[in-house]
Amino acid sequence: MKIFMKFKILSILILMFFAKTVFCEERVILYVSDNIHLGDNFVTKYADMLQTLMDDNYGKDAIKLKKFSRFDFNTTDCLEFLKSFNARNYLPKTVIITIGEANQYNLRGFSSYLSKRKNAKPKKINNKTLKQINEEIMDIYEQKTSLLKIAGKQMFSNNKKEYKPKIVPNFYALNDKFIEDPNTIASISAYSYAWELIRTKKYNQARDFLFSVISKKSSHSMFYYALGSLYLLEQKENAEINALKFFEEGILVDVRNSRNMCYKGLIYLYMSYKGGISNDILYFARAVYEVAGDVSEEITTITTLNTSNYEVKHRTILDWALSDLDKIKELYAKNNINLIFSSYPDELKINEVVKNYIEESNDGILFFSNKFEFTGNMDYSLYNLSKKMFSFLKDRKIIK
C-alpha cells in the first residue's frame, strides 16, 4: 500500500511538471517593456487601456494582461526575466516584447557577448589603491609613461602624431583635503535636492549648489553625475565637453564602484555623440582599463569596441540585441506561442532593425509597429495607441 501511494504521488508530481512545461495559459498575454524613454507611467496607462479594451470585448473569454516593465531594461535583462518567468509560471499563450533602446546605455550582459568575439580582451584584475590608480592615470595624461604612445598609436592609423586629449580631468583623489567617505546615505537628501533644482530648470542655482557640495564631499560620485547631467540637459555651448569632464572626475574619485552612475554617463556620451569628444572618451577609457582593469562593463565595452565610428558602435550594439532576440525565439519555439516584437513608441534606430530582421527571417514571429502619435492630449494619444494594438491582436485572431 505504501509503495502504491508513493507511486501515485510521484505520478501526480510528474503530471504536474509535464503540464507546467507543455501547456499554456490560453487567456494570458505577457507584456514586457523597457521604459527608458517614456517612463513607467506611460507603460502602466497603456497596459491598463489595453486591458480595458480586452475586458470590453463582449461575449469572449476574459483575457489577463500581465505587465512587466522596468527602466533601463535591455534585451539580456529581458531574456533572463523570461527564463525566470517561465520557470515559475505556466507559459502564456502570447508574449509581447517592446524593444527599447536600453542596450545603448545598460551594458549588463554585453561583455559576455563580446567574449565570444575574437577581439574580446581577457579580464584584468585591479588590486591598486584609489591613490595609485589616480597617480598612474595622471602620469598617462602628463606623458610620463609609454601608455600614452600606445593610446596615440591605437587612435591614429598613420602613427605620425601623438594624440593629446583636449579634456583633462582634475585628480581630486590626489588633493590633500580628499577623504574617502563611505557614508553616502547622508548625501542622498542633498542629491535629491540637486535633482529637484535640475528638473525645475533652475540650472544656475543647481550648479552653484553642486559645486559647493563637491568642495566638501569630493569623494561622492553622485554629485559629479548630477553636474554632468545638468550640462547635457541645459545644452549650452560646450555642454558635452563639460559633461564629459565631470563624468570622468566622478569616475576617478570612485573607480572601483561598478555601480558608479558616472560610468553610465560616460557610455551615454560615447554611444550618442558622433566624433568630437569620442577620442577623448577612448583615451580616458584606455587609461582606466590599463591601470584599473575591468572595473565596469562600460569601460570594458569602450576599450573592446575601440572606435569612435558612430555606425560601427551602433551596429555592434544592435547585433547584440538581435542575438538576444534569437535566444528569446528559441525559448518559445516548441510551445506554439504567439511571439510579438513591438517597436518602441519613440523614433529609435533599433525599431527599423528589428522590423527588417523579422521580415527577413520569415519564421512566424510577428512585428507590430507601435508608433506613438501625440494628439495634444496624452491619455487620448495613449488610448489610440492601445486601440491599434488591440486591433492588431484581433486581426491575427490572438484575441477572438
- What nine digits make up the cell of 16? 504536474
Same domain (yes/no): 172, 292:
yes
Same domain (yes/no): 268, 337:
no
The whole-number pLDDT of residue 35 equals 65
Residue 311 lies in a domain: no
The whole-number pLDDT of residue 11 equals 46
Residue 59, judged by CB atoms within 10 A of its CB (0-12, 13-18, 19+), counts as exposed
Same domain (yes/no): 287, 340:
no
| For range 236-264, the mean pLDDT | 93
The rounded percent of the chain whose pLDDT value lies above 90 is 26
CATH number for position 44: 3.40.50.1110
Q: Average model confidence (pLDDT) for the chain?
A: 82
- Answer positive or negative: Cα dihedral of 312, 314, 316, 319: negative
Same domain (yes/no): 287, 145:
yes
Residue 35 lies in a domain: yes
Number of domains in the chain: 2
- 34 C-beta neighbours (distance < 10 Å), count: 25
| For range 136-146, the mean pLDDT | 81
Same domain (yes/no): 281, 342:
no
| pTM beyond cutoff 0.85 | no
**Can you say how many angstroms the Cα of residue 189 is from the centroid of all Cα atoms in its chain?**
26
| For range 362-369, the mean pLDDT | 79
Residue 373 lies in a domain: yes
Residue 114 lies in a domain: no
Residues in CB range of 23: below 8 A, 6 or more apart: 90, 91
User: CA-CA distance, 16 to 19, in Å (whole number)?
Assistant: 5
The whole-number pLDDT of residue 7 equals 42
26 has pLDDT over 60:
yes
Which range, 29-38, 109-118, 124-133, 352-361, has the best average confidence (pLDDT)?
A: 124-133
156 has pLDDT over 70:
no
- Answer positive or negative: Cα dihedral of 310, 313, 316, 321: negative
Count of helix runs (H) and strand runs (E) in the chain: 16, 5
DSSP 109: T
User: CA-CA distance, 279 to 284, in Å (whole number)?
Assistant: 9
Domain of 348 in residue numbering reads as 27-105+316-395
User: CA-CA distance, 223 to 197, in Å (whole number)?
Assistant: 13
CATH number for position 127: 1.25.40.10
Same domain (yes/no): 133, 269:
yes
Same domain (yes/no): 97, 238:
no
The values of phi and psi at residue 127, to 5°, are: -115, 15
The whole-number pLDDT of residue 234 equals 92
* Position 123 confidence tier, pLDDT thresholds 50, 70, 90: low
242 has pLDDT over 90:
yes
* Position 134 confidence tier, pLDDT thresholds 50, 70, 90: very high
Same domain (yes/no): 272, 176:
yes
| Sheet strands side by side (includes 64-70) | 64-70, 24-34, 91-99, 338-343, 366-368
